[in-house]
Amino acid sequence: MAKYIAKRIGQALIVMFLVSLLTFIMINVAPGDPVAVMLEKQADPETIQRVREQLGLDRPYHEQFISFIKGAVTGDLGNSYFQKEPVTAIVGRGFVITVQLGLLALALSVCIGLVVGTLAALFRGTWIDHSLMFVAMLGISAPAFWIAVLMQLYFGLKLGWFPISGSEQAGWLVMPVICLGISYGASSARLVRTNMIEVLSQDYVRTARSKGLNEFVVVGKHVLKNAGISIITLTGMQLRSLISGAMVIETVFSLRGLGSVSYAAIMSRDIPLVQGCVLYVAIVYVLVNLVVDLMYGVLDPRIRLS
């Protein structure tokens, strides 16, 4: 097990390094000089040159990259070009919002998925199954940002229950979490149903039932436990795309999370901020992958050995 963990952590570190290298290359091949954008048109060439030197943009690329990596390791990503603040502070604030949104939405989506999927599997082939799966398919096919707009329209403007933008008023998280949760819950419901149906047809379920156990014990103790691995797989997969999903939903509700911050940074060519955002998101991503993989290893010995 120790060897497996070490191997996975090593791979994660390599991926992190390559992601930062790729980001660095992408930013440097992009057209448009950030200094010229920053100083707008008033600056003369000498000023531009001076600022470039101050920011270290005149040094060779490999030196810039090495100092970026050094900074990343020591937790100093420099200052944002436009907001005179350390990148770590700006990204950190956004990070808190995105993580709150993402984790709450994940919890909601897992609940929806488990309840709806289990019900549909238990009542397989009946109208309950058909109508639940129809609603789930609608949820999968509707874009999350559109569900968000519809919720703003009805619960925000018409009923006035929740604020439709910003994170200052109470209840600001409710609508973003619900629309993300619905969107992802719909696809988990389908997968949970498929897995549950598979487990329900196993011999040990029939044995449990014929022993006279009541249905709650059968489902809770035998079926859900065995469908566990695929549900964890699913949760891991969802967590990855939830990061992207949360970043889009933030822009609908004007929340200053990682999504809005990186969008603004890219649009204004704020290089340190872009690098910081990508690095943070990539770290979260790689960590999620690592945790999910390690959990498979714990749950399913077959994976650990191969």
Partner 1 sequence: MGIFSKRREMQLKDLGFTAEDLASRTLYQDAWRRLKKNKLAMVCLFVIIVIAIVAIFAPLVAPYDPFETDPFNRLQKPSAEHWCGTDDLGRDIFSRIIYGARVSLLVGVVTEGIAVPIGIVLGCIAGYYGGWADMIISRIIEVLGSFPFIIFALCVMFIIGPGILNIFIALGCIGWLGHARQIRAAVIQLKNSEFVEAAKASGASDFDIIFKHLVPNCLATVIVVATIDIPSDIMFEATLSFMGLGIQPPNPSWGSMISEAQDYLRQVPSYSIFPGIAIMLLVLAFNNFGDGLRDALDPKLKNL
232 binds partner 1 (CB under 8 A): no
Which residues fall within 8 angstroms of residue 149, CB to CB, at 6 or more apart? 252
Residue 247 found at the interface with partner 1 (CB under 8 A): yes
Per CB under 8 A, contacts with partner 1 among 149-168 are 149-150, 152-153, 157
Q: What DSSP line would sit under 97-121, residue for residue? A: HHHHHHHHHHHHHHHHHHHHHHHHH
Please give the Cα distance from 63 to 52 (Å, whole number).
14
Q: Which of 15, 72, 229, 292 binds partner 1 (CB under 8 A)?
A: 15
Please enumerate in sequence order all residues whose Cβ is within 8 A of that of 247, keeping only pairs 6 or more positions apart, or say none: 98, 257, 258, 259, 260, 262, 263
Question: Cα separation of 186 and 136, whole Å?
Answer: 5
Least distance from C-beta 203 to partner 1, angstroms?
A: 21
What part of residues 34-63 is at the interface with partner 1 (CB under 8 A)?
A: none
Cβ proximity to partner 1: between 114 and 261 the closer is 261
- Closest Cα to residue 173, out of 162, 182, 184? 162
Please identify, using beta-carbon distances, which residue of 107 and 157 lies nearer to partner 1. 157
Q: How far is CA 194 from CA 31, 122, 125, 139, 295, in A?
A: 48, 11, 13, 17, 22
Q: Which of 248, 295, 299, 303 binds partner 1 (CB under 8 A)?
A: 248
Identify any residues that bridge with 79 across adjacent strands, giving them in sequence order.
Answer: 86
Segment contacting partner 1 by CB under 8 A, of 13-21, 83-91, 169-177, 204-212: 13-21
Q: Could you give the string, one character per residue 113-152, with x where binding to partner 1 holds by CB under 8 A and - elsewhere?
A: ------------------------xx-xxxx-xx--xx-x
Residues that bind partner 1 (CB under 8 A): 11, 14-15, 18-19, 22-23, 26-27, 29-31, 137-138, 140-143, 145-146, 149-150, 152-153, 157, 191, 194, 240-241, 243-244, 247-248, 251-252, 259, 262-263, 266, 269, 274, 277-278, 281-282, 285-286, 289
